Amino acid sequence: MTGVLRPARDSDRDLVLPWRNHPSVRAVSLTTHEIRPDEHAAWWARRSGDVLIYEADGVPAGVVIFNGSTWSFYLDVDGLGPRLLPAWMRLESEAVEYAFGTLGLDTLGGETLADNTQVLALHRRFGFRETRRYERLVDGVPKTVVWTERNR
């Protein structure tokens, strides 16, 4: 599977909403409610310049969002099916390369819910280290969040 990151286009806006609203994505997100189309459109209008689309074999399959030296991502769970794990690995590799190459960052970090053990393991594999844990309300429920980061 080959992967590439490209800047988001306006035509991607409605494509990514079902990915973000997938139950397995919402379950490990810091906002777990189903995102309404108007809410998504407002977010897209503010943030689309920070969004990259991950393409797997030429097909849009995920999103990477950079906010300064912080990042987050999600994938098209249903569209990737059994190719989800290789896509995760490729997306993380591409995102790290983009952060330290294209963006010129010295440090890249992000928040992951403590019970999202698969993504925490993936981050460790790519050289991220846990630097702290803290409680955060996620839709009114206290959850433990793990901050991971890596340097160039």
Look at residue 46 and tell me if it is in a domain.
yes
**Residue-number span of the structural domain to which 74 is assigned:** 3-106
Residue 132 φ/ψ region, left for φ over 0, alpha for ψ in the -120 to 50 degree band, beta for the rest: beta
pLDDT at residue 2 tops 90: no
Look at residue 89 and tell me if it is in a domain.
yes
52-88 confidence digits (pLDDT tens): 999 998 999 999 999 999 999 999 999 998 898 899 9
Look at residue 32 and tell me if it is in a domain.
yes
The pTM of the full predicted model, rounded to 2 decimals, is 0.91
Q: How many domains does the chain have?
A: 1
Rounded CA separation 11/13 (Å): 6
CATH number assigned to the domain comprising residue 23: 3.40.630.30
Look at residue 140 and tell me if it is in a domain.
no
Look at residue 94 and tell me if it is in a domain.
yes
Look at residue 10 and tell me if it is in a domain.
yes
Strand spans (E) along 15-100: 51-56, 59-67, 70-75
Q: From edge to edge, which strands make up the β-sheet containing 129-138? A: 3-7, 51-56, 59-67, 70-75, 107-113, 141-151, 129-138
DSSP code of residue 124: H
Q: Quick one: how far is CA 52 from the chain centroid? A: 10
